[in-house]
Chain A
């Protein structure tokens, strides 16, 4: 008889057979978890740790308790950045309805519609750096297109990127261009999945226009809306590259957001205040945490 019973398998093999369905997923997850811990979780705690120190990145760090936080509390630059972050978050949200509008407009079958769709999607494909450069030229008060338009009507062009009142809005407008394209593509995909029977049924019930959109189409687009809002919030919070390219936080720091301010204090030419930079990072993290928690909670609810 060569029929082996499970009991006859020894030690490890038996244990493995019994537990493999629990262990194998963790084995597959291990590389990702390792990277995530090393590059995301660990630095979070390190930042919190460093924020209690005064450190220039060269000498020995000096423990100063909450002094960095106290300084931040009185720092005008911090409040300017915080205010700009809020403006970014609010205005960036325009990308969602604007993307929806363009998606509805493009969701038709006429000749060459694919070409139009790709043209509308094009700005999202270009790098943020290029978008920043293009808009900086566009705003150039001596010979940018905007200046030419103003001159054509006999006006004086505003120097958008060097006026503290316009600069943040100018950069957000540049950021919205690719972001709208992104939301548009999300909604276009969503519109493909809208059930035709429901539209048919709604039509029989006499719904059309805005009522149709609001009560029939939009509820079906909820997954797309959710993702669009998520990516837009993330885009607003990490709005670093455009600011760095277009103004470097200027004029006199009035277009900084928290992420840029953190970079400037910790890593730029005149910075190297690692502790203070880390303090800003911690505050930014706490703000993001509110949003991340909401996101996780939402996911959890849906999974249930």
Chain B
């Protein structure tokens, strides 16, 4: 009954989504970037691939970024393309475990990616096999108002104490230290990740997101102590749960807030809103526990071959092409992001260069809380973080609740 239900609903869905079904020799690529920059970048990639392989006919579909997250579940089972965009780490685990992605370890072997993309190898590996090829990533860090820092005589904070001192000084001058909008709860995941990575390091992040450490563990408690040190004096934007991350850019642009922990994608809207590079700066999230190796959140976007693809040979060619240094240089210049291949060139932008420099000195890359943790855990976790940011006094109940969810998720994974 389940299969018939699935077929029925999927057939109905698919009929609307795809009118053309592919011939052998055609290469169908599904991509989730419908915004102008990603779309343009991708058009260029396709054109170049077409030039190098005139015998392959590439057909590609762009999807709305959010809608894609639902569509992929349908098209992977019903009418799989030959190549599909997705994300690394635990985010691809459901598809790998359901047998919907193809093992592409051979592409990694043949193209020497184990060496040239070593930094991303871990995030692409499940059960000792590689399940896709990464093409872009971006740094996270603190974007700040240089001019405000200069006016108040604040130096770029390198340690936790300096960060607290800078925040206190900003607050004294009626400037909110940190802009944040938690209406979409994922932004709290960024804060939790950084506080936890700096307090405890990458191993604890990995073990927590894979369910080996409890949320009530004393080490995680320490992370929350540090979070408290920012929450209690009111260093975050007031009423942050009313705002999306885009809404929270406004106080930053107006000079009412001075820092913003975000991914590099925040730079484009900040510039559009009128901030110049003289006003906007970037620094790496400061050290908290001395001696803890600084790990970073650097979410990787990827391409995969669906297990039921019709044209896997050409799909492999396409993945190899995507992994090459030239392609990665080009596509990331257009995207305004960083290439994974270490032989690729980085775009000529201050923030990209800063990010590249930071990440090339980083040994451990995390993917982001909601990509590293199980989906159900991530949802409950980020809801809990949001609640904690509004009601810090409820920490105990929140963490105990998260432990309960974690137990449930662990039990599910083991059977």
Contact = CB atoms under 8 A, between A and B. Distances in A.
Question: Do A and B interact with each other, yes or no?
Answer: yes
A252 B183 contact: no
Interface in A145-189: 159, 161-162, 164
B375 A271 contact: yes
B253 to A, nearest CB: 13
A162 B401 contact: no
Given A270-B370, A273-B376, A248 B184 contact: yes
Interface stretch (A49-57, A98-106, A111-119): A49-57
A204 B238 CA distance: 64
A29 interface: no
A142 interface: yes
A147 B243 CA distance: 14
Contact of A141 (B73, B97, B242, B412): B242
B146 to A, nearest CB: 24
Given A264-B379, A273-B376, 16 more contacts: A57-B73, A58-B95, A59-B98, A71-B408, A139-B242, A142-B239, A162-B183, A162-B239, A162-B241, A248-B183, A251-B182, A252-B384, A252-B386, A269-B66, A269-B69, A271-B379
Contacts of A271: 375-376, 379
Given A252-B387, A253-B383, A58 B1 contact: no
B2 A61 contact: yes
A250 B185 contact: yes
Contacts of B386: 250-252
B390 interface: yes
A300 to B, nearest CB: 34
B70 interface: yes
Contact of A55 (B2, B66, B77, B390): B2
B100 interface: yes
Interface string B91-121: 0001101101000000000000000000000
A267 interface: yes
A164 B388 CA distance: 13
6 contacts: A57-B73, A141-B238, A159-B241, A162-B241, A250-B185, A250-B383
B2 A251 contact: no
A2 interface: no
Contact of A58 (B100, B238, B378): B100
Interface of A: 46, 49-50, 53-61, 71, 76, 139-142, 159, 161-162, 164, 247-248, 250-253, 264, 267, 269-273
Chain A to chain B: the 10 pairs with minimum beta-carbon distance, closest first: A162-B241, A270-B379, A159-B239, A252-B387, A58-B98, A252-B383, A162-B242, A251-B241, A59-B98, A141-B239
Interface centre among B239, B376, B387 (most CB of A within 10 A): B239
Contact of A161 (B73, B242, B401): B242
Given A55-B2, A270-B375, A162 B77 contact: no
B20 interface: no
A80 B407 CA distance: 21
Nearest to B69: A269
A100 B100 CA distance: 58
Nearest to A55: B2
Contacts of A46: 1, 5
A267 B70 contact: yes
A269 B376 CA distance: 10
Nearest to A74: B404
B165 to A, nearest CB: 27
Interface string B59-71: 0000000100110
B240 interface: yes
Nearest to A156: B238
B408 A58 contact: no
A92 to B, nearest CB: 24
Contact of B73 (A58, A159, A247, A264): A58
